[in-house]
Amino acid sequence: MPQMQLPLFPEGSTLINANLAFVREGDRIAYIYGHLPIFSHAIDDVPTFRMITSQLYVNGVATQSEICHAFGVTPISVKRSVKQYRKNGAAGFYEKRGRRGPAVLTPPVLQNAQELLDQGFEVAQVAKELGLKQDTVRKAVRLGRLHKPEKKSVKTEKRMP
């Protein structure tokens, strides 16, 4: 007949549930299942923390509420991590985040816009000519990335009586 093993957790460990605990060892967190260490990571390694807690939930080792209570995280953060784990696997936590593409006002476009403004075109005409939104050109002028040439004013001479 198989012998049942009781969970034996080291001193200073925090229980997640009856079979699972974690313990801080210096600058690392170690996860213990029963009496065996199953994983460890640096304390400040947030992507790995999200990955392992999601994996614990998906594999049925812990519930989301147990993870929330043990680590003091919000339920929505656990749900987002679980969704990411199910969609992309463990590698999904280490992928570079998608960033916005290049700006519309690249240096060549700024140069063309400035040339048009120097020729006397209005902001609306410059935007239309370059296929930009008027607000984009207006904002560039306001922030100093483009400048409108000074309008020449006609001075009236005073006549001496």
Question: For the chain, which residues make up each domain, given as ranges?
Answer: 14-93, 107-142
- 148 — pLDDT class (breaks 50, 70, 90): confident
Q: Where are the beta strands (DSSP E) in 8-128?
A: 14-15, 20-25, 28-33, 36-42
Tell me what the pLDDT averaged over the chain comes to. 88
For the question of whether the overall pTM of this predicted structure is more than 0.85, the answer is no
The model's pLDDT over 37-73, given as tens digits with 9 standing for 90+, comes to: 999 999 999 999 999 999 999 999 999 999 999 999 9
